[in-house]
Structure 1
């Protein structure tokens, strides 16, 4: 056993040394950074070559320490949206590295890396008055942070408006309307870190879901009930001073960074949609059935300013046959981990609970990305005996790119479907039996007289 571990460790060290001594050069890097919302969306097109003309099997992608803490999503693709295998590097001292594996090794590889960062566009100043516009600051890296030398690089940045207060000025650069272009820069050394700072106007909705609890209750009688409990906070610049409803309604430019309403998209087959908070049902919402979804425009009871919070519950039903697949006693539930709640959404903490029918067993959960699997629970509802199993998992720092399907496989005997009808029949029979017995018994109190 110890010999096997020693050999494995040696192979890891050899692999690390081999990768460190690779002769890969970034011939061209083209970065596009979108800063028009509260998210930082970065797309990088890389042309990598091996100077020794050897096939490139793996490429090490690195992140600076600051970017690594704020990374929410990463993916790598070839042309035509062919996804590459990308995993966090194991055995390395630096945990901010990812290994991209190419199915077809070649001396030249052209691929794309998509990144989404959260909490990297910060309100500056942190507090504003109701009539003020929201200014934000972004801090990043001017150059592509890489383990390899970069021969040529260009960066294009898209902002929400053309109102730019200040920005990093390293020639060559160019500013046109709401776009800032840097480069081309040449002969950049490995892991060169030069701060890139932009201070600009951004009035897009800064909304963060602090906590989301998504409950999916599965019934084999044709219905799946979904309930989402959402704690929402406006994470933009906090409101300084008091709020004036009169000014807000009178002046269209008052509270431009506040949130009056937003759109949530539900599955096309959604029915019995409800939207309520602690005070009851919220009627200020509009629902529109579209071809491939249900558009729900949600309007809170009051507009949300920076630092303001709200909590509501959104519920809907969908038919079982669209999401539940059966093969004898083997079932597979396939549904989304999260729904589209609003544009450029950020979910700090999400918990998904799947309530299965009583009598299910042999659970196998398959998720599209790494999640934290929590301990199974039991919940008791009507007509239950031992309770219904609850499969629970959680995930932090979610964005729109995490909208993907999970699969839950389990076993359920068809005979178990008769449990609830039989319980109802037995209950009704017991009531009738008890009624008959009561009618036949004589509970009257009488006095019998005796004659001499």
Structure 2
């Protein structure tokens, strides 16, 4: 079954890719009349792009192709799009690398074909992880934290672009420098780059023909900005989540195993606990240090535990979700909060491994569908740390023993999905388990895995029957041994 699921997933991906002409020339069905990209720098880079497009054809005018360079594709973990003024989003499909231009294609399906001569504004939001790097690469625990962000100065597009500009917003106005290459300066309509407060604006630039071609080299047009980072730069290197469903206990147990890393400049010299305590007391903590972490847990979370490779960590505080009343209750339940304080502060380049787990009522995430006679379960794919990228995530969901007729719906396309059998105490045939593997995740990936299944009545009785039979066997053995005469007679 594991192999079958793997092959089905690969076949579905291959079929989806074959629908799109990654090897063919893209028709110039649109013109980008104005493109404005705004990048907000934080522990991740949040890119908001506005594409004002005009249709040039009555055919091939229902799909807009978005292209990214290899550098941007490597750091982009999430893309979503919608039409300006519309409520719902548009379908975005990743097509892969174009055979000629080597740019990475994304197809945005418009709500309806755009007639020739009409205009539309597309709002494209994306999240970039590991898009900045520290400069200098080493720092003491008292130093400030500076990073460098690089981006394509002009947008890659298979369409002509009439006007475009790029805005980069740093976390603070302390921008040490910014660089615009001479090739890009020559394309500027007015000032090539202007700094105002914490924002650096590159452009506007002159009209450009299609740049997503094999003859165009985007590297001479890349810009950079050197800025101060006043917030932590944390990365989840690995996350392993296990969610186990129990109908007998009406409980959902979730356990997360984290490996996190501080991506600030690596520590130069020795770490001083005394200096750390003094800066903490004076509230002058350097942003290169991460002294604590915080997690938002479901409102019904209880029996929370937290430990690392040494053992239980007592320097943590769990705050259950407050009982809402009045208007707050109508807005929905609030989250519980778990504040974690590691055994040592995380300096730049340091890792920390820990495990967090909790129980929650099964009724908060599962319900019985009387119409179809099935259980419907919604398990969160992850519980993200605020504004923290996740390099790799492995999620395992363990269903009750005897679950049948199972359907699985992940919140997004995962790299690999497998089915296996999990055997624990008092099990006879084992429990069905599903494993999901994904990479390059952001807080935008915190959707739910929906699973529907049936549990026959006989399966509910399977565990108590196994316990009863085991107890009878033990009793019979003991009763037999008690009546056997083990004495030695002459």
Q: Distance in 2 between matches of 1:138 and 1:91?
A: 24
Alignment partners' CA distance in 2, 1:96 and 1:232: 30
CA RMSD, Structure 1 to Structure 2 (Å): 2.6
1:394 lines up with 2:441 in the alignment: no
> Which structure has more strand as a fraction of its residues?
1
Question: Structure 1 437/329 Cα, relative in aligned 2: closer, same or farther at 3 Å?
Answer: farther
Deviates more, 1:373-382 or 1:228-237: 373-382
- 1:77 and 2:104 equivalent? no
User: CA contact under 8 A between 2:145 and 2:265: conserved in structure 1?
Assistant: yes
Shift of 1:111: 1.6
Counterpart among 424, 428, 436 of residue 381 in structure 1: 424
Cα 1:446–1:329 change in 2 (3 A) is farther
Is 1:20 the counterpart of 2:47 in the alignment?
no
Among 104, 109, 125, the residue aligned to 2:112: 104
Which of residues 301, 305, 308 is equivalent to 2:343?
301
User: What TM-score, normalized by structure 2, do the two folds share?
Assistant: 0.82
Structure 1: 5+ residue runs without aligned partners? Answer: 1-8, 448-452
How far apart are residue 182 of structure 1 and its match? 2.9
* Partner Cα distance (1:354, 1:371) in 2: 15
In 2, are the aligned partners of 1:211 and 1:347 still within 8 Å (CA)?
A: yes
1:6 aligns to what?
none
Contact 2:302 2:320 in 1 (8 A): no
| Aligned counterpart, 2:251 | 223
Q: 5+ residue gaps in structure 2?
A: 1-16, 186-190, 322-332
In the comparison of the two structures, how many residue pairs are matched? 435
Pair 339,81 (structure 1): closer, same or farther in 2 beyond 3 Å = farther
Q: For 2:113, what is the secondary structure of its paired residue?
A: strand
Q: Structure 1 residues 208 and 228 mapped into 2: Cα distance closer, same or farther (>3 Å)?
A: same
Deviation, 1:172, is 4.3
Alignment map for 1:202-351 (pairs within 5 Å): 202-221=229-248, 222-251=250-279, 252-253=283-284, 255-290=286-321, 291-327=333-369, 330-340=374-384, 342-351=385-394
The question of whether the paired residues in 1 share the 8 Å contact of 2:20 and 2:95 is answered with no
Q: Bigger CA drift: 303-312 or 277-286? A: 277-286
* Superposed counterparts of 1:85-96, under 5 Å: 85-89=91-95, 92-93=98-99, 94=102, 96=104
Report if the CA contact (8 A) 1:329-1:412 is conserved: no
Name the CA distance, whole Å, in 2 between partners of 1:139 and 1:91.
21
Aligned-partner SS, 2:253? strand
Deviates more, 1:235-244 or 1:182-191: 182-191
Distance 1:129 1:10 in 2: 52
Larger Rg: 1
1:197 maps to what in 2? 224
1:209 CA displacement: 1.3
Tell me the SS of whatever aligns to 1:32: strand
State the shift of 1:445 in Å: 5.7
Q: Indicate if the aligned counterparts of 1:260 and 1:302 stay in contact, CA closer than 8 A.
A: yes
- Equivalent positions of 1:124-143 (< 5 A) are 124-143=135-154
CA contact (8 A) 1:48 1:109 kept: yes
Greater mean alpha carbon deviation, residues 217-226 or residues 76-85? 76-85
Secondary structure in 2 aligned to 1:349? strand
Whether the aligned pair in 2 keeps the contact of 1:261 and 1:300 (CA below 8 Å) is yes
- State which of 184, 187, 190 in structure 1 corresponds to 2:204: 184
Of stretches 118-127 and 79-88 in structure 1, the one that deviates more from structure 2 is 79-88
Q: State the partner residue of 2:70.
A: 65
How far the C-alpha of 1:433 sits from its partner, in A, is 3.9
CA contact (8 A) 1:12 1:91 kept: no
Q: Equivalents in 1 of 2:413, 2:173: separation in Å? A: 39
User: What residue in structure 2 maps to residue 30 of structure 1?
Assistant: 36
Give the stretch that moved more between structures: 428-437 or 300-309.
428-437
CA contact 2:144–2:288 (8 Å) conserved in 1: yes
Q: Using the TM superposition, name which of 101-110 and 325-334 deviates more.
A: 325-334
Q: Using the alignment, how far apart are the partners of 2:44 and 2:96 within structure 1? A: 28
Following superposition, the deviation at residue 38 of structure 1 comes to 2.3
Residues 226-281 of structure 1 deviation map (CA, whole Å, 9 limit, x = unaligned): 01111111122100100111111223445332101121111111111111112221
- State the shift of 1:362 in Å: 3.7
Report the 3-state secondary structure (helix = DSSP H, G, I; strand = E; otherwise coil) of the residue aligned with 1:421. Answer: helix
Which residue is equivalent to 2:399?
356
Is the Cα–Cα contact under 8 Å of residues 329 and 413 in structure 1 kept in the other structure? Answer: no
